[in-house]
Structures are given as structure tokens and as C-alpha cells.
């Protein structure tokens, strides 16, 4: 079965063709990041206009790379939300038009849950067995930080979520405080490597509590006040590296310990991580090491699947389709979907 995936939730325009929900035949991703960088964040109007201009070229490129024609597609899966309203509108409109023209079924997908499905995609040689349900899911991105218990593709329970900033958002804001530019996550990760994280210690919010919720706003604020104190004299690069290391260590420790606490509490032996922050080298190192001690298997997506992409949308859409999900051409908006959704 060939699934066409469409993703336009934020600033990446992506179209993919995936076979049987597991094998990627093509996964074309175009980012309008360079257009947003001068503003220090994603500008919704710019993002939606970029999607409108590039979605058809992405569709053509994805089909060409997959060596299949549009008529070969069996299912259309599209990001239904959450995301920027204008951006989502472009992708959903394209998916509806294709499903109507091809007379093929349409499935709307929750973008956040799809990040977990990046770990269910076969990456070929050297890949261990794909995860089986139930699993613990950790989504760490610029807009979301969630702990999820997934008993099946459609049966999902939220165990914990951020009460303020998402992990990726905190990385970007700290990078801005330190004058590192946007996006900040990769740069903080790069500068923190090989540094002593104990030189600047930042508190670990909510870590001492039994709650599985997260809070990263306090760490960001602590970095801000530390930077303000150091402004009495010019802050050099070595100092910035040490602050990055201390901040990153705090965030990764919270994510790691909360995840393993949830795994033990709900007796789950497989942890699947997804989202942009899952590319962070320190998080991968710390989580893999600590999980091994607890007998928990951790599955990270390949680096190219950490960002927003249509392959994960196609994979998750296929799983939902097999479970009986079908959407009409009057596919509801995300607010309506969440109002009717039971978790």
C-alpha cells in the first residue's frame, strides 16, 4: 500500500511516499527557515505563503523520487493539527483535492503523535526490530513536550506535559539570551559539547515532585539572570559554552528522569522519542545510558526524521487507517478534532 503524506504544520513543507507505513520511498522537506531567521522566530504569514508556493513542487519531487505516479497512491494522510492555522490550511486543502481527484481515502493526523511514529519507520540495514505496543512516548519539540502512554495508534493517554515553555522553546530562548541566533537548539548543543556542566548549575524544576509534568520557563529565566550578572564585563565564548552546557544538562536530566519514572510507574519497557529536540546529542547519550540501567529500550528516530516531515505523517496515517479511521472531505479543523477526541 502506498501512502502519500503531507506535512505543513509550521515552517517545513514536506511530502512523502511511504510503503506499508514502514518503508520510505521518498521524503521531500523544504524549510523556509532562512526567511524567518531575521525575525528570531517563525512568522505565520511568511510560513503559509511559502507552503502555498512550494507544496506542488514538493509533491512532484516526492513522486519522482519514489518512482511512482500519482495514480499509484492508495491513501492520502495529512497533518490536521496542531500547528499554525494558515500553514495547516494549505496542506489540508492540497490533501482534500488529491483525495477527491484520485478517489482515495483521506486520513487526518495529529502532528504531535506522528512524531512518535518516526520511530516506527524501518531504516534498513542495522535497524533493530520495530517497537511494539504498548510504548511510552516522549515528544520533545519547539512547541510541545509530552509524555504519552500508547496502547495502540488510536489509544493514547497523556501522562505529563509542559506547564509553560516546551523544551525546544527553552533552547531557542536561551540561545537568544546568549546572542546565538535562531534556531538555537543545534547551536546550544554544539557549544555545550566537551564542557563542564557543573560550572553553571541550574535548578531542575519539578524533578523532586511525583508529577510527570514539565516546566522549563524557570531554567530559561535563571539563564537570563546569570547572563545579566555576567554583562558587567563582556561575556566571552568560553563562558557562553559553559552556560550552554549547564542549561542543557538541566533540561536533559529532567527529560530523562521523568521519562524513566513514567516507564517504571506504568511498567513500560519501550520508550520511543520524537521531535526536534530528540536530535540533541546530550539527551540521546543521557537517556540511552540511564534507560539501559533500568532495563528500558530507547528508540530514537534517525536524524532526518527528528524535524517535521511527511514520512511520519504517512506512517501514522497508515496505522490509523488500518485501525478503521477514515475522514470525509469536510475534514474538521484541529480545534474541532480535539473537542471530539477521547484520550
Domains in the chain, ordered, with CATH?
A: 2-119+307-340 (3.30.420.40), 132-301 (3.30.420.40)
- Model-wide pTM > 0.75: yes
Q: What is the pLDDT of residue 124?
A: 61
Convert the pLDDT of each residue in 268-292 to its tens digit. 999 999 999 999 999 999 999 999 9
Q: Does residue 19 register a pLDDT over 60? A: yes
What's the mean pLDDT in 10-38?
94
| Mean pLDDT, the chain, integer | 91
Residue ranges in the chain assigned as alpha helix (H): 33-36, 44-66, 85-102, 111-117, 167-177, 185-192, 217-230, 237-265, 281-294, 310-322, 334-340
Alpha carbon 178 to its chain centroid, in Å, reads 24
Alpha-carbon distance values, 254 to 147, 165, 324 (Å):
12, 14, 37
**What is the rounded distance in angstroms from the CA atom of residue 22 to the CA atom of residue 215?**
34
Q: Would you state the pLDDT for residue 334?
A: 47
Whole-number Å distance between alpha carbons of 72 and 19: 11
Which tens digits make up the pLDDT trace of 90-142? 999 999 999 999 999 999 999 999 999 999 997 664 455 788 999 999 999 98
Q: Give the end-to-end CA distance of the chain in Å, rounded to a whole number.
A: 28
- pLDDT at res. 341: 45
206: left (phi over 0), alpha (psi -120 to 50) or beta: left
Amino acid at each position: 500500500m502506498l501512502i502519500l503524506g503531507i506535512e505543513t504544520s509550521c515552517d517545513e513543507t514536506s511530502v512523502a511516499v511511504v510503503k506499508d507505513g514502514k518503508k520510505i520511498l521518498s521524503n521531500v522537506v523544504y524549510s523556509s527557515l532562512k526567511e524567518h531567521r531575521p525575525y528570531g522566530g517563525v512568522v505565520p504569514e511568511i510560513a503559509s505563503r511559502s507552503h502555498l508556493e512550494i507544496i506542488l513542487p514538493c509533491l512532484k519531487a516526492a513522486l519522482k523520487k519514489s518512482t511512482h505516479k500519482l495514480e499509484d497512491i492508495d491513501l492520502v494522510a495529512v497533518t490536521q493539527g496542531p500547528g499554525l492555522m494558515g500553514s495547516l490550511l494549505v496542506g489540508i486543502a492540497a490533501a482534500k483535492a488529491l483525495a477527491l481527484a484520485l478517489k482515495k481515502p483521506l486520513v487526518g493526523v495529529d502532528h504531535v503523535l506522528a512524531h512518535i511514529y518516526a520511530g516506527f519507520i524501518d531504516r534498513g540495514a542495522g535497524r533493530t526490530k520495530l517497537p511494539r505496543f504498548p510504548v511510552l512516548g516522549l515528544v520533545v519539540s519547539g512547541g510541545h513536550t509530552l509524555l504519552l502512554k500508547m496502547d495502540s495508534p488510536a489509544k493514547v493517554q497523556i501522562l505529563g506535559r509542559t506547564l509553560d515553555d516546551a523544551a525546544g522553546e527553552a533552547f531557542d530562548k536561551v540561545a537568544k539570551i546568549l546572542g546565538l541566533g535562531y534556531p538555537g537548539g543545534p547551536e546550544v548543543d554544539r557549544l555545550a559539547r566537551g564542557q563542564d556542566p557543573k560550572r553553571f548549575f541550574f535548578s531542575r524544576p519539578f524533578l523532586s515532585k511525583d508529577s510527570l509534568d514539565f516546566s522549563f520557563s524557570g531554567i530559561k529565566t535563571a539563564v537570563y539572570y546569570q547572563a545579566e550578572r555576567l554583562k558587567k564585563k563582556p561575556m566571552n565564548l568560553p563562558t557562553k559554552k559553559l552556560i550552554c552546557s549547564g542549561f542543557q544538562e538541566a533540561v536533559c536530566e529532567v527529560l530523562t528522569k521523568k521519562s524513566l519514572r513514567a516507564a517504571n510507574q506504568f511498567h513500560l519497557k519501550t520508550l520511543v522519542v520524537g521531535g526536534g529536540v530528540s536530535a540533541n546529542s546530550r539527551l540521546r547519550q543521557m537517556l540511552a545510558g540511564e534507560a539501559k540501567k533500568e532495563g528500558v529500550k530507547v528508540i530514537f528516530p534517525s536524524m532526518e526524521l527528528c524535524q517535521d516531515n511527511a514520512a511520519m505523517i504517512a506512517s501514522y496515517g497508515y496505522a490509523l487507517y488500518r485501525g478503521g479511521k477514515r475522514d470525509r472531505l469536510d475534514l474538521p479543523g484541529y480545534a474541532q478534532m480535539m473537542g471530539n477526541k477521547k484520550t
